[in-house]
Structure formats: C-alpha cells, structure tokens
Structure 1
Amino acid sequence: SPELQRLRAENEKLRYRLLHLRRSLAAELGRAAPAQPPAGGEKVSSASPADAVVQIKEEKTKENEAVNQHQNDLQCMPSFIEDRLKLYEVLKKEHDALLAYRAANQSKSIKITLTDGEMVEGESWRTTPYQLAVGISQVLASNAVIAKVNGELWDLDRPLEGDCTLELLTFDNEEAKAVYWHSSAHILGEAMEGYFGGCLCYGPPIENGFHYDMYIEDRSVSSTEFPLLENRCKNIIKEKQAFERLEVKKEILLDMFKYNKFKCRILNEKVKTPTTTIYRCGPLIDLCKGPHVRHTGKIKALKIVKSSSTYWEGKSDMETLQRIYGISFPDNKMMKEWEKVQEEAKNRDHRKIGKEQELFFFHDLSPGSCFFLPRGAFLYNTLMDFIRGEYRRRNFTEVVSPNIFNSKLWEASGHWQHYSENMFSFEIEKETFALKPMNCPGH
C-alpha cells in the first residue's frame, strides 16, 4: 500500500541518517585524537628497519580496513540499488543474447579506414575499436580514452556495425577529455549514491572537470565529507568496474527508476524516442547517452574540489539539490600540476586582491555584486573615462538599456537554455524575469 511504501522510505532515510552520524562521530574522534609527544627531553631517533616493518604492517592494516569498510558500505546500500540491479541483469542477458545472435548470423567482413588512411579489415558485430587499437600498438590501446566512428564518439568495447572510419582519441583531445570527465562523474555518482542514499540527478562533464547533482532531503554536503567520498572513489577505481551500455525501452526505464522522480522527469520530458541508453559501472546504473572509458581503472587521479547548492534545472521554485565538483587526470603528475595552477590562481584572485588593497568587497545580501570602496571607485571611474574617450575617438555613441528582461527574451536568444541555472531570476504576476547575464544592451 502507499502508506507502507511511505513508511519503508522513511525507515530507509532514518537508517542512513544513523549511518552518517556514526561516520561523522568516528571522523571527529579520529581528528580529535592527539599525537603522543616524546617523553620530556627525549630525542626522537631515526626509524630502524624494525620500525619500517611495523609501519608497513600498519599501512597494510589500514588498507585492509579500508577494503572491509568498502565491503560493509556495499552491504548497507539502499534497497533500490538491489532492485535496479536485478532488472538490469535480466536486460543484460537479453542484450548479450541479441549481440551473440548478430555476431553468429549477421556478421560480415567490413573495411575500417584509420586516420593515416590505412585500411584494415574487421567483422561487423564482432570487431571493436579496442581490438584494432591493440593491433596497432599496445601503448595506443592503453592511452586511448574513446573512439570516433564515422565522426561519432563510440565506446572502445562496442562492436563496429559496418564499414567506417576510425579515430582513437587520447586525453589531450578536447572531446576525449569530456568523455574522461563524464566517466569520472559516474564514479563520483556511485560514491554519492552509496554514501548519501539520495536521488542522483545530472552528472555532466564541465569546462574543467565534472560535477554531480543529488537530491538529499533536509541535508547539505560538508567539506569534511570529501575525504570519505574520495576514498569511495578510489575503491571504485581499484575495482576497474567495466562501463556497460544498454539500449532499453522507455517504459522499462520508468519502472527501473521509479524510486527517483528526477530520472522519471528526464524520461517523460526529455526522451522523445521509444528507447534510450543506460550505462552501468559497479552498482551504479544511470540514464546516459555516453560514451565512456572502458572501465573505472582508467581514472588514475581524482579529487573532490568543492560543493554547493543548486536548483533542479536552475529553477528557483524547484527542489534544492546538492552539487559536488571534481577533477580527474590520467596520471598523478597532471593532478599535481593542476593543484599548483589552482594555488597560483588563488593568489591572483580578484576577490583576494580587492580585499587586501581595499578596492571592493562582496556581501551575501547581494551575491555576485561588487561594493566599491573609495580607491576602487576611483579606478572604476578612471577606466570608464578611458573607455568613453576611446568610444568618442572611434565615433561610437552610447545607449542605456534595462538590466531586467522577461525570460522570453533569453529563450529566444538561447541564453536561457545554457545559462538559466546561473541567472538571477524571479517571478512577477506569473511571468519569469531575470537580470541580464551579459553586457549586451538587449536589442
């Protein structure tokens, strides 16, 4: 009955809250435990070989504890994950049977044209881009992030279906980078789902990394939880979970994701075809067009950067979501270089400089708006005078236009579809208005 389902859902939430409280308490106790100083006047000697052995054993013990914790976490996962996996296994068997049938009865010789113009032969429904990459070079196969077949991004382990052109893209390619970060978002999503037990929403790659949004009722994400989430991500990476792609009917997916109203909204409002694709890695199954890297082990270095709150699809009258940002790279050296750049950028941050030099400040009462102090106002006016002088010299004239427009303008211009989430919008007499997000006068 609906009442029984409601009680079960409430019990699930309470169980997760208790789990989080225990974790938080354990983390606090770990941080609070002081290191034991040496006895008064006692010199600290260098470590002996015996000490080194003890240290190795301790590190091994910690590693085993982390593995055991990961296994316990898997056992404590929400019940909807188990239900989702059961349905997925049925669908996977059907998919594998269809692929085996095509390989046995519809396979034919095909020609694949490589980027250097060389042509190689393969078999439809059997040969994969990864197999061809191995035939060229094991190094290339290891470094390849994704394939491009007839100009379309294609999973490395997905069989080719006919004559085609083939490119193998590595991390230095922008499209491959986006795929790499998209796959990293799925790893983060798996960690978040197991840790918070909430409803995943969107998890895209962005310009510098990736993020995942989750609906967690009556809760926000704390930066103290980042190490716990990162440890989960590391375990997922160690497991080298394969990314599996299935094409499934929309009505079946509505049943699979019935626990998640956000995924159901996406299916009902965004999916206009009878079928769409899902991807699995480990216990995570997500609505996704893909493609992805071969397995989670391809992500060599991953870091959680920050978290924030946002609204579902950027609409202030919709549910509040928790967004967690991350970054990842194919090796630790690239991560260290990125961290160095971020540290240097902090020192050049205009907010830091503005405060130190008493130029301006920001306040939560007007987010994103600048309060200029006398020194800053002097610089601002000097720059404006310079710009106006350049206008006059080039025979330009100025206009003054409103700062607030009806959202219909932004929909017509295309800004709403891309930037509505970060625009300041509000409702007046059932019409949505927003501050203009750029400096165009609006004509």
Structure 2
Amino acid sequence: MINVTLLDRTQQYENEISGFELLKGSEFKNKAIALKVNGNLCDLSCAINYDAKVEVITVQDQEGLDILRHDAAHIMAQAVKELFPEVQITIGPTIEDGFYYDFALELGKSFSSEDLVTIERKMQEIIKSNYKFIREIWTREDAINFFQGRGENYKVEIISNIPESEKLTVYRQGSFVDLCRGPHSPSTGRVKAFKLMKVAGAYWRGDSNKPMLQRIYGTAWRDKNELQEYLTRLEEAEKRDHRKIAKDMDLFHIQDEAKGQVFWHENGLVLYHVIESYIRKKLRKNGYNEVKTPILASKELWEKSGHWDKFRENMFIINEDQEKQMAIKPMNCPLHIQIFNQKTRSYRDLPMRIAEFGTCHRNESSGSLHGLMRVLGFTQDDAHIFCTEEQITEETKKFCILLKEVYEDFGFKDISIKFSDRPSIRAGSDEVWDKAEAALLCAAEDTGLDYTLNPGEGAFYGPKLEFVLKDTIGRDWQCGTLQVDFVLPQRLDASYIGTDGQKHHPVMIHRAILGTLERFIGILIEHYAGKFPLWLAPVQLVIATITHECNEYALEIEQRLKQKGVGVEVDLTNEKINYKIRLHSLKKVPILWIIGKNEVLKKEVSIRYLGKIDQISSSADEAIQSLSELVICK
C-alpha cells in the first residue's frame, strides 16, 4: 500500500477527479489495482470530489490480491454463462487463497472435471481480451427487469433483499453484466495466474431446505510462481492429512453414528494425555488452579449470560419443555463465574486464575465438519483470569510469555497476532466496548507485541487478541486467544470488595493457548507429518525380534523400559524383520530396537531411527539409560 497524498481538491481542481486522472503520469499508474480513499476501497474510476487521504492499492497488498481474486470470480461466471447459457449465476465471493461461484444447473446436471478444463480455457480467452470492468449504478426496477429478462431468478431474489436505501451497482465486462458492490481492478487482463480446483454442492443461502447449487472453487495469485508454490503446498498438505496419518498410526476414528465426535484409540489417547499433562504442569507453574464444571446448565443461566440470544442456534438443547430446558455447554465462562461467586472475594484475591479442560459441544452443520479440525464435541484448554482493570496489562504480558513458551516447546516459533475489535452483534454499551478495547490495546502495546487489526471479529462480549502460528509448510493456524470482558461479570453479578470497601465488578480475561485439544492435535499431526518429537510420540520405541529365541530377552528389556516411563511396545510376531521395519516406519515410531541372536549373546540392541537406514549397536544398559533420559516429558 502506498500513501500518495492528502488530496486537497479545492486547490487543484474545479471539479471532481477520478483515480485514473489522479495517477496520470504517476509511477504508480500501471501498478495500481484500486484506491483506498479515506480508508474505503474503491475502483480507480471512482470520483473524488472532496478533500481526502488517498492510498494506492497494488497487487502486492493483500487487499489488491483479494480484488484480483474477485475479478477471477467474475471472469469464471462470464465463462460459464457463455459456455452454458441455461445456467443461472448466484453469488461469487473471495475466500482465503481463492474464490468460488455458485451456479444453478438444471435438475440432475452437474459440472464435470472436463467442464472445468473447458471453463479455464474460456477464462483465458476473456483475460486475453482484457475487457474493462465498468461500474454502473442502476435503479432497482431496471436491475430486476434486466435479470428477470435473462432468467436470472436468484439475482432477482438478491436484489429484493437489498435495502431500498442502498445503491444498486453492477459491473460490466464485455457483454457480461453482474450485480456486485465491487471494487474491481481496471480490466480482466490484470489476472495473471489462476486455476479451477474442484466442484462441490452447496445449498442456496446455506439452507438445506433450498435448492442445491454447483459451487466451483478456484485459486488466483499474483504470478505463475506463486500459483505453483500454492499448488505444491496443497500437494504437501494432502500428504500430511491428519486423518490419513492417524489411520496409519492408529490414533482415532470418527464415524457417522457419532458425527463430529472423536473415538480416541489407545495411541491417540496417550498423545492426548501427554499434551494435557504438559499443559497442566505449565498451569500450576503459572499460578492457575484447575476446576471442573458441569456439562449441562439451565436455560436461565445462558439467558443471563447472553449466550441464549447470541449463540442458541449452535447449542444442543435438552428437554422440549420450555420451562425446564437445559443446554450442553458450548463454552465454560458462565460456569467459571459461578465458582467465583461462591465466596465473597476481596481485591487481595485478585488476580484469580482458574483453568479447566472443559468438554464443550457446538451444533455445527455437518458440511463444515472435518476430522479433528472441526468437530461437535471438543475439549478446550480454557482458563479465566478475574482481575482489576489495573492488572490487565500485567496479566496479558504473563499470558503472552506463557503462550510463546508453549508454542516453542511444540515446535512453533513463527507466531503472529491479530487484534479483533467489536463485532456488529455484541453485548454491552459502546462505552464499555471503548473501555475494553482501549485496555487490551494498551496491554498489547506494553508487551511490545506486533499485531494487525482484524476489524469486527471480537467475541460478542469483548475484544480479543488472536494468536496465529505457522506450520512447517507455511500454513497459518489461529489457536490461542485472549479476550478482555467487562460485560459477563456484570451480567452474572460477579463482584469483589475493593480497597474502598465497596463492591466492584472484576474484569474477566478469557484465555486459551491450544484452543481445543482435538484441533491442536490435528495441527500437530500435519505439522510433523506424524513424525513427532520423542516426548510427544504415542509409541516411542518398538523392540522387534528376528527369531522367537530372542523373545524372552526382548520382554525383559521391555519391563525395564516401562519402569523408566518409556512408551514401548514389543513385536514378537513371526514376520520377517524387514516387514517389521516397514510396518513400524509406516506407524511413525521414532526408534526401533532390533534383537537377534547376536544381540542376545552380547546383551546389546541394534538401534534404528525413523527415516534412517544405518543401525547403531549399543549395550542394552547404556541404551536404556540414554533413552529414559530423552523421553522425559517437558
């Protein structure tokens, strides 16, 4: 983004000036995708008739890349319409790394993989034609008549739902016209690198009672190198799919009879408990007390907290009797306040830090469920800090230090932070939100953290910091959060006695490091491709025998290792040793000890590490001592 000038129209121009005129002769003329005028994105053709701060958006800016992806969505819609005139176009937004467009086909018809290739070729033709994107403002009547005349009934429905006070804008490229708010780049030729990825079904308006549409997903990048890097990353991500790796390692499964809920197998539960134990140690060291709260709570509590109004559609409700309704908890915070409220608290008790591995359930649509990454039932590494306003900064600092330590121990060193402010639907007055946002911003700045703004993405009760880690193939994962909440303690009447002898509402800091154990385990599996560091590996060592004469010696070593706390298994099967090596390599076991007649005779083991061909011989005593020191949990 380039800050061009503070444009004073009154001194330079008698009439309005367009972005094109403003940049005429400028070094930015051929780089510009759009403008940001007083903070609002607009096309280069937009008219500026007032004093304004003008910034140039180029393809190097994320906003510029998003605009190119929006261009690509319109180009795809034009290509589909020209190839399949009977198809109706609906909506086509940008998404992370790309775009999609939903199309209504005749009943029983769908796009094939061959169709995608044909559509791509047509898109290339449209890009080569370099059609200008022309923005036009239409009356509601003209827009409805136009789209009705073309049989675009979905567009007519969209127009009917737009408030009458809002302008209707359309964009024209060649002979193609689409309803759109914009902005767009100057022409279709700005799109340099794209690929159509897949076709999926999608209900109109996301409602399963409405028609099923065909959704074509695509991706677009600044150039062909970026596109190829992205496609390579996708290939690598597919190899690392946690669901496939988990099957090889026998960690968990999910089945239709319990959608969105995890069946943890023995190895998976070992991993789960190692992580839980690690976090528990960190909590104790940092002054947290662990609690456990009920999984069910009455409708009245959720009404008082505000979740019944704001979150009810995502809650599992029990008992149809309106007077006796209960809900499975979707979060822990209202129940933690009940623990705080059981005693008269003093300012001397603050900060009070309470933590819970709280099992929660949220009613997500089945289409959004994805392995461990999106589930209905999950466990949060949840904690709440009750403190005074003066303690917010210090508690934020302490949390950030703790979070960084945890992420680094798990192998994540690249961490970024987003500051998310008030959403459109929220609890509390603007005055309270002003106070909460100022307090959290001050705390973030005092910690020396770099952050980016994430407008409108705060929780309904307060602003938050979102901590994003980058995995080994460059993907971002939002895991940790810290939220400052002035609202919930007031709603649920939490109070403490201050230095003045009067009652005051505490500030409630909601915080999590991993987010949910399920999702974090999924991220870990993909980050390491199942090849966990030794302290995390569900099975740290397998002892494999070459002949049955070695079994007694192998079992003796196994018992010694178990007494040292090593996660060990013994493979005494009659399979050949090369088969055993391949089998346990597929299961990502970090270390294999091979025992044959020679090892028994010399009281040794042959050591083989995952991914390496060479074997190392060692005395059993030395190997046991060395391994027992290595596997100690952090």
Instruction: Determine the structure 2 residue equivalent to 1:80.
Output: none
Instruction: Determine the structure 1 residue equivalent to 2:93.
Output: 204
Q: Which structure has more RCO (C-alpha within 8 Å, separation ≥ 6)?
A: 1
Preserved contact between residue 249 and residue 274 of structure 1 (Cα < 8 Å): no
Q: Determine if the alignment matches structure 1 residue 354 to structure 2 residue 246.
A: yes
Preserved contact between residue 181 and residue 210 of structure 1 (Cα < 8 Å): yes
Preserved contact between residue 7 and residue 51 of structure 2 (Cα < 8 Å): no
Counterparts of 1:206 and 1:153, CA distance in 2: 18
Counterparts of 2:116 and 2:83, CA distance in 1: 11
Counterparts of 2:19 and 2:52, CA distance in 1: 11
Secondary structure of the equivalent of 2:189? helix
Letter in 2 for 1:132: L
Structure 2 residues without counterparts, runs of 5 or longer: 315-362, 368-374, 384-459, 461-487, 489-634
Q: Deviations over 1:124-179 (max 9, x none)?
A: 66632123324111xx2222111112222121123333433221111222222222
The 3 A distance-change label for structure 1 pair 127 and 118 is: closer
Secondary structure of the equivalent of 1:398? coil
Instruction: Determine the structure 1 residue equivalent to 2:365.
Output: 424
Secondary structure of the equivalent of 1:142? coil
Secondary structure of the equivalent of 1:352? helix
Preserved contact between residue 146 and residue 293 of structure 1 (Cα < 8 Å): yes
Instruction: Determine the structure 2 residue equivalent to 1:176.
Output: 64
User: Where do residues 82-93 of structure 1 align in structure 2 (5 Å cutoff)?
Assistant: none
TM-score, with length taken from structure 2: 0.44
Q: Deviations over 1:177-220 (max 9, x none)?
A: 22221111111111222334321111011122111111113223
Counterparts of 1:415 and 1:274, CA distance in 2: 29
Q: Deviations over 1:40-92 (max 9, x none)?
A: xxxxxxxxxxxxxxxxxxxxxxxxxxxxxxxxxxxxxxxxxxxxxxxxxxxxx
User: Where do residues 256-275 of structure 1 align in structure 2 (5 Å cutoff)?
Assistant: 256-258=146-148, 259-273=151-165, 275=167
Instruction: State which of 181, 191, 198 in structure 2 corresponds to 1:306.
Output: 198
Q: Determine if the alignment matches structure 1 residue 278 to structure 2 residue 166.
A: no
Quote how far apart the aligned CAs of 1:291 are: 0.9
Instruction: Determine the structure 1 residue equivalent to 2:76.
Output: 188
Quote how far apart the aligned CAs of 1:371 are: 4.2
Instruction: State which of 153, 157, 162 in structure 1 corresponds to 2:45.
Output: 157
Higher strand share: 2
Structure 1 residues without counterparts, runs of 5 or longer: 1-112, 417-421, 427-433
| Aligned residues: CA RMSD | 3.7
Instruction: Determine the structure 1 residue equivalent to 2:334.
Output: none
Counterparts of 2:255 and 2:15, CA distance in 1: 59
Q: Deviations over 1:12-32 (max 9, x none)?
A: xxxxxxxxxxxxxxxxxxxxx
Would you say how many aligned residue pairs link Structure 1 and Structure 2?
317
Q: Deviations over 1:308-335 (max 9, x none)?
A: 1111121111111111111112321221
User: Where do residues 40-189 of structure 1 align in structure 2 (5 Å cutoff)?
Assistant: 115=4, 123=13, 127-137=17-27, 140-189=28-77
Instruction: Determine the structure 2 residue equivalent to 1:321.
Output: 213
Greater CA radius of gyration, 1 or 2? 2
Quote how far apart the aligned CAs of 1:276 are: 0.9
The 3 A distance-change label for structure 1 pair 201 and 171 is: same
Secondary structure of the equivalent of 1:262? helix
Q: Deviations over 1:397-425 (max 9, x none)?
A: 2334369x99x958725998xxxxx9327
Secondary structure of the equivalent of 2:164? coil
What fraction of aligned residue pairs are identical, expressed as a percent? 30
The 3 A distance-change label for structure 1 pair 277 and 122 is: farther
Counterparts of 2:253 and 2:79, CA distance in 1: 37
Preserved contact between residue 304 and residue 325 of structure 1 (Cα < 8 Å): yes
Preserved contact between residue 242 and residue 296 of structure 1 (Cα < 8 Å): yes
Instruction: State which of 213, 233, 238 in structure 1 corresponds to 2:102.
Output: 213
Counterparts of 1:345 and 1:413, CA distance in 2: 33
Q: Deviations over 1:241-276 (max 9, x none)?
A: 111111111122111122222212211123332641
Please say which of residues 392-401 and 209-218 is displaced more in the overlay.
Answer: 392-401
Counterparts of 2:14 and 2:233, CA distance in 1: 46
The 3 A distance-change label for structure 1 pair 323 and 332 is: same
Quote how far apart the aligned CAs of 1:282 are: 2.4
Q: Deviations over 1:327-366 (max 9, x none)?
A: 1123212212222222232233212322332323455666
Instruction: Determine the structure 1 residue equivalent to 2:228.
Output: 336
Preserved contact between residue 311 and residue 320 of structure 1 (Cα < 8 Å): yes
Counterparts of 1:115 and 1:146, CA distance in 2: 13
Instruction: Determine the structure 2 residue equivalent to 1:236.
Output: 126
Instruction: Determine the structure 1 residue equivalent to 2:394.
Output: none
The 3 A distance-change label for structure 1 pair 176 and 240 is: same
Preserved contact between residue 44 and residue 185 of structure 2 (Cα < 8 Å): yes
The 3 A distance-change label for structure 1 pair 172 and 117 is: same
Preserved contact between residue 241 and residue 281 of structure 1 (Cα < 8 Å): yes
Preserved contact between residue 360 and residue 373 of structure 1 (Cα < 8 Å): yes
Secondary structure of the equivalent of 1:135? coil
Counterparts of 2:87 and 2:258, CA distance in 1: 31
Secondary structure of the equivalent of 2:130? coil
Counterparts of 1:122 and 1:337, CA distance in 2: 46
The 3 A distance-change label for structure 1 pair 122 and 281 is: farther
The 3 A distance-change label for structure 1 pair 414 and 241 is: farther
Instruction: Determine the structure 1 residue equivalent to 2:310.
Output: 412
Counterparts of 2:366 and 2:244, CA distance in 1: 28
The 3 A distance-change label for structure 1 pair 283 and 413 is: farther
Preserved contact between residue 316 and residue 425 of structure 1 (Cα < 8 Å): no
Quote how far apart the aligned CAs of 1:370 are: 4.1
Counterparts of 1:147 and 1:283, CA distance in 2: 26
Q: Deviations over 1:349-403 (max 9, x none)?
A: 2123223323234556666554433322332344344445555661132334369
Preserved contact between residue 5 and residue 55 of structure 2 (Cα < 8 Å): no
Preserved contact between residue 98 and residue 218 of structure 2 (Cα < 8 Å): yes
Counterparts of 2:115 and 2:257, CA distance in 1: 28
The 3 A distance-change label for structure 1 pair 124 and 222 is: farther
Letter in 2 for 1:173: D
Instruction: Determine the structure 2 residue equivalent to 1:255.
Output: 145
